[in-house]
Amino acid sequence: MARSPATCRYDIRIIALSATYGVLLIGATWLFKHHQVTGPLAWVVAILPALPIVGMFAAIGVYLVEETDEYVRVLMVRQTLWASGFALSIATVWGFLESFGLVGHVAPYCVVILWYAGLGLGGLANGLMTLRRGA
Amino acid sequence: MNNRLKVLRAERNWSQGDLADRLGVSRQSVNAIETGRYDPSLPLAFKIAELFALPIETIFVSPSEETAQ
């Protein structure tokens, strides 16, 4: 299946943001490990690796605006709903388990990993729906 | 929503890809509309009707008529 221009631009943005994330994470980790940053600068450096992740969410938003194929856009919206529902549900259940001391603490940014796993589930659900309705 | 898109396309010997190109959408979209998995927006429905030079209601079956049948 031919990829739309919007999809190609989305892919390029995600690749660029992933590479940026890798560089910033390695850099920030190195700086903190070698005690190179303190005070307000430490806050800035600690936040830097988060920015490309935030950018990935923005890239999805931009993609939804740019995608001219309405059906493909609907599929992506469905996927993001799956992702949000999946990540928020697990985070909520985990939060309560954690509150009652039954499980250990997990860093909140792990929700992003769950969200992307949910995006994959949404893609699977889209595929299964296509098969079930006899494409 | 049921429709006659597949029949109209076949009458013209167009593949799903041909129709998709003419409408400026993906083949996936044409497939989803033909199989009733997706109801097109009003602008896309008008575009389809204009392409086949037919009124919308002769291409797409009204859901209320489907229920009545």
Predicted ipTM of the assembly: 0.86
Mutate which of A7, A70, A71 to test chain B, going by most B C-beta atoms within 10 A?
A: A71
Contacts of B27 in chain A (CB under 8 A): 1-2
User: Tokens 């296509």 appear where?
Assistant: A130
Fold of B5-68: 434 Repressor (Amino-terminal Domain) (1.10.260)
Separation CA A81–CA A84 (nearest Å): 5
B20 → chain A, closest CA residue:
A69
Separation CA A120–CA A128 (nearest Å): 12
- Using an 8 Å Cβ cutoff, are A19 and A50 in contact? no
**What DSSP state is assigned to residue A49?**
T
Q: Residue ranges per domain, chain A?
A: 1-49, 69-135
**pLDDT per residue of chain A (135 residues) written in tens, 0 to 9:** 567 889 999 999 999 999 999 999 999 999 999 998 899 999 999 999 999 999 999 999 999 999 999 999 999 999 999 999 999 999 999 999 999 999 999 999 999 999 999 999 999 999 888 877 655
Q: Is the whole model's pTM more than 0.90, yes or no?
A: no
Separation CA B52–CA B49 (nearest Å): 5
Residues in chain A: 135
pLDDT at residue A134, as a whole number = 59
State the smallest CA–CA distance between residue A90 and chain B in angstroms: 30
- Using an 8 Å Cβ cutoff, are B18 and B51 in contact? no
Picking from A1, A4, A71, the nearest residue to B32 by CB comes out as A71
- Residue A106, token pair as written in the block: 């997990």
- Whether residue B35 lies within 8 A of chain A, CB to CB, comes out as yes
- Residue A71, token pair as written in the block: 């059906």
- Whether residue A72 lies within 8 A of chain B, CB to CB, comes out as yes
State the smallest CA–CA distance between residue B53 and chain A in angstroms: 22
Asked whether residue B63 carries a pLDDT value surpassing 90, the answer given is no
Q: Would you call A135 and B37 a contact, using CB atoms and an 8 Å cutoff? A: yes
